[in-house]
């Protein structure tokens, strides 16, 4: 599983042309899924990072607080392009990402796991929908997370 993490002041998501979900400050997590990601070890590692990363400023202006510390939300959006391989040619290859049916199940399982174990408010996108995401980035602070610890 790969996640692009963005610290945000707000997020508003439209799916298939209709308003779907919105959130005030927190983390926007763009999630890419690979075959084999459907296990509790991956879910636990990724969720722990998401809710406990200290990327929000304390009273001294140091990034020392998490969304859990601040009582902020987590917005989870599926994004298959995170497994796009651009090393060859001009069209990315997505062959290392999970097939659509498998990825849908893993995404839903991860969201359920996050709701049950995250301790923060969870917002989501709509899997395989045409989504437009209006974000107000904060910082900007953008980080990369990979369950295989590639980076």
**Over the chain, what is the mean pLDDT?**
97
Share of the chain above pLDDT 90, in %: 98
DSSP conformational letter for 81? G
Rounded CA-CA distance 150/53 in Å is: 18
Taking CA 82 as the corner, what is the angle to CA 66 and CA 97, rounded to the nearest 5 degrees? 120
23-72, pLDDT tens digit by residue?
999 999 999 999 999 999 999 999 999 999 999 999 999 999 999 999 99
What pLDDT sits at residue 150?
85
Check residue 151 and give its pLDDT: 80
Query: Of the CATH numbers 2.60.120.10, 3.40.50.450, 3.40.50.2000, 3.50.80.10, which one belongs to the domain with range 2-146?
Result: 3.50.80.10
**Global model pTM greater than 0.85:** yes
Sequence ranges of the domains in the chain? 2-146
* Interstrand relation of 26-32 and 73-78 (parallel, antiparallel or unpaired): parallel
Check whether 99 has a pLDDT greater than 90. Answer: yes
Q: Angle CA(70)–CA(141)–CA(26) in degrees, nearest 5? A: 30
Checking if the pLDDT of 121 tops 90, the result is yes
């Amino acid at each position: 599983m790969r996640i692009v993490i963005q610290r945000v002041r707000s997020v508003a998501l439209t799916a298939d042309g209709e308003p779907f979900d919105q959130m005030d400050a927190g983390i926007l997590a763009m999630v890419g899924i690979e075959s084999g990601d459907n296990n509790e070890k991956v879910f636990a590692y990724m969720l722990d990072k998401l809710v406990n990363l200290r990327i929000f400023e304390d009273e001294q202006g140091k990034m020392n607080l998490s969304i859990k510390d601040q009582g902020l939300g987590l917005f989870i959006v599926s994004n298959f392009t995170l497994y796009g391989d651009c090393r060859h040619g001009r069209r990315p290859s997505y062959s290392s990402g999970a097939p659509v049916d498998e990825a849908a199940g893993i995404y839903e399982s991860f969201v359920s796991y996050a709701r049950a174990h995250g301790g923060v408010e969870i917002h989501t996108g709509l899997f395989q929908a045409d989504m437009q995401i209006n974000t107000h980035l904060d910082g900007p602070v953008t980080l990369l997370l990979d369950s295989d610890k590639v980076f």
